[in-house]
Chain A
Amino acid sequence: MTAADLPQAPAGRGLRGALSDWFWRNPGLTLFLMLLPPLLWLGIIYLGSLFALLLQSFYSIDEYSGLINREFTLKTYAELFKPANLDIILRTVAMAALVTVGSAVVAFPIAWFAARHAKGRWKAVFYLGVMLPLWSSYLVKVYAWKLILAREGILNWIFAKLHLTWLVEAWLSLPIVGGNSLSVSHTGTFLVFLYVWLPYMILPIQASLERVPGNLVEAAADLGATPRQTFWNVLFPLALPGVLAGSIFTFSLTMGDYIIPQIVGTSRRFIGQAVYAHQGTAGNIPLAAAFTVAPILIMGVYLWFAKRKGAFDAL
């Protein structure tokens, strides 16, 4: 940059100079002015909506007229504990937990290899190999699984070629996980969730593994630990914050999703579908609002626990 690009700007050089000087002399106010637009936006539009939603969960709906009764009541929350609704919440939490554990198991080797073994070119391959599926269209990914799990689709074809159709049949005849076909069973729902959220688990684990200094592993080896011992006593405990950080995503995303169980799954509902149905056709906003409070509370407890275990440092 030459001096000509930056003409001399002595103080008090017109309005622009005065403004610039004012900003320089009042860092606090400048900070305030910079923060004002984003805070107004998020504060009014986002927090405002959230509070309005929370407020409406304390209203109730008149069962006969279908009108919303704007008086403070806990009746709507009591409705959450009806067996049918409680079932929905428990089913969702169980699915979220299973998806989290499943994705941690599948993600760990990928993250481990990418963090500690892949070098140069392979490092880039692994990075993009995780980023591309992460950022690919969510619906395209769900659609791909609809193709895979279809009765006439590729998975059944592979099992047939391997003469293992009986295995699929046996699995589908099991209670809870089974169903008429893979695309209308909880197994199918689980697989799609696992697939769609997997990259969110890989990235934080990889980040936490990358931060483990190489000499710790060497020290363990020098002290006579076998590779297995080194893994369980050194690497794994240090990667745990990463697993927890990833689980925040997988857990939260699974709990809030209403599209995957609608497209691949049984007729038994998840929280997201219940919210969608209650706010839509049923017009029962209070109950829908109360339903959304459930994942918020669960996530709140989860985040508090994760923060205590140091998961935020791994994000």
Chain B
Amino acid sequence: MRSDKEGARAPLGLKIAAGLGLAFLHLPILLIFVYAFTTEERSYQWPPPGFTLKWFGVAWGRADLWEALTLSLKVASLATLLAMLLGTLCAAAMSRTKFFGRESISLLIILPIALPGIVTGVALRSAFSLAEIPFSFWTLIIGHATFCVVMVYNNAVARFRRLHGSLMEAAADLGADGFQAFRHVVLPNIGTALLAGGMLAFALSFDEVIVTTFTAGQQQTLPIWMLEELVRPRQRPVTNVAAMVVALATFVPILLAYYLTRDGDQTAGAGK
């Protein structure tokens, strides 16, 4: 078949450009892994003068790092839960029927990530100030849940569309009520898509910094801790270690989400 031959015959220039592109995407992240072991404390010297494991121990003993990490995990979990609830409801409704205003609703869901993060951030911050709501853990959750909804929605809506309405009807014919049909027919079918969406929402929230700086009070999430280190480097070796751990930690949900949606349509990360 011709189309098979097309696959075999990539021009050399294309191969090189694609390979270089992939290398460009990955080398900077790998560099972080090297720097986590450097003995140099005061500069970003390359090549590293020596290698040590010392900074892992130092980072482990840092209370502020642990606090930031715990807060980030809490915020991401709660925001993800809220987003899964709202996103699933929305996806289920949107995939059922065509109705007036459907397009505007889908625009509304996408808006929080389509508009620059700073717009969302400033809008929420000024609204909280206007309403005299003090900045707290909860304002942080509200901000995060708002832009996480779309992640769950995107994954769930694609799966709902493939779920035939006749399945629900068949369940009803077999005597299931609406709740049973949902529990035994719909949920097993959309489960992996929900899980993938939830994991991506978690990753997005865990890493978010722009909306976070605007909606947090004194709270310091891990990204905010990193940002302060970036602006005013104080403990470079500890930051190197933290950066490496964060990079490794984000790989896990992405790989999991990939394996969960691999057999379905690949909606896992379609548009962060």
Question: Measuring CB to CB, which residues of chain A are less than 8 angstroms from any residue of chain B?
Answer: 1, 5-10, 13, 16-17, 19-21, 23-24, 27, 31, 34-35, 37-39, 41-43, 45-50, 52-53, 56, 106-107, 109-110, 112-114, 116-117, 119, 126-148, 150, 152-154, 157, 195, 198-200, 203, 214-215, 217-218, 227, 248-249, 252-253, 255-259, 262-263, 271-272, 275-276, 279, 285, 288-289, 292, 295-296, 299, 303, 315
B-side interface residues, number (CB < 8 Å): 94
Within 8 A of A (CB), among B37-75: 43-47
Residues of chain B within 8 A (CB-CB) of A299 are 114-116
Which single residue of chain A is at the shortest CB-CB distance from B188? A1
Cβ of B241 to closest chain A Cβ, rounded Å: 12
Q: Check B210 for interface membership: any CB of A closer than 8 A.
A: yes
Query: How far apart are B140's CB and chain A's nearest CB, in angstroms?
Result: 13
Structural contact, A56 and B247, CB atoms closer than 8 A: no
- State A256–B111 Cα separation when bound (angstroms): 14
Interface: B167 (CB within 8 A): no
A38 B270 Cβ-Cβ under 8 A: no
Contact status B239-A143, CB under 8 Å? yes
* B177→A143 contact, CB < 8 A: no
Q: When the two chains form their complex, are residues B117 and A9 in contact, meaning their CB atoms are under 8 A apart?
A: no
Residue of A nearest to B38 (CB): A147
In the bound complex, what is the Cα–Cα distance between A217 and B253 (angstroms)? 38
Are A139 and B230 closer than 8 Å at their CB atoms? yes
Asked if B193 is at the interface (CB within 8 A of a chain A CB), the reply is no
A-B Cβ contacts below 8 A, count? 293
Given known A-B contacts A106-B21, A140-B32, A154-B46, A275 and B122 have beta carbons under 8 A apart: yes
Binary per-residue interface labels of chain B (1-40) against chain A in the complex, 1 for a CB within 8 Å, 0 otherwise: 0110011001100110110011011101101100100000
Q: A147-B32, A258-B210 are in contact. Are A6 and B180 (CB under 8 A)?
A: yes
Q: Given A203-B270, A275-B122, are A252 and B10 neighbors across the interface (CB < 8 Å)?
A: no
On whether the beta carbons of B22 and A147 are closer than 8 Å, the reply is: no
- The verdict on A9 contacting B122 (CB below 8 Å), with A42-B109, A139-B223, A144-B28 known, is no
For the complex, give the distance between the alpha carbons of A295 and B121 in Å: 14
Some 16 contacts from A to B, beta carbons below 8 A apart, are A21-B177, A35-B93, A37-B89, A42-B112, A46-B112, A113-B17, A131-B268, A132-B254, A138-B223, A147-B32, A154-B31, A218-B2, A257-B118, A258-B118, A279-B126, A288-B122
**When the two chains form their complex, are residues A137 and B31 in contact, meaning their CB atoms are under 8 A apart?**
no
Chain B 171-205 interface 0/1 with A at a Cβ cutoff of 8 Å (1 = within): 11011111110001000000000000000100100
Partner of B44, one of A106, A135, A147, A303: A147
Nearest residue (CB) in B for A52 is B127
User: Which partner residue on chain A sits nearest B90 by CB separation?
Assistant: A38
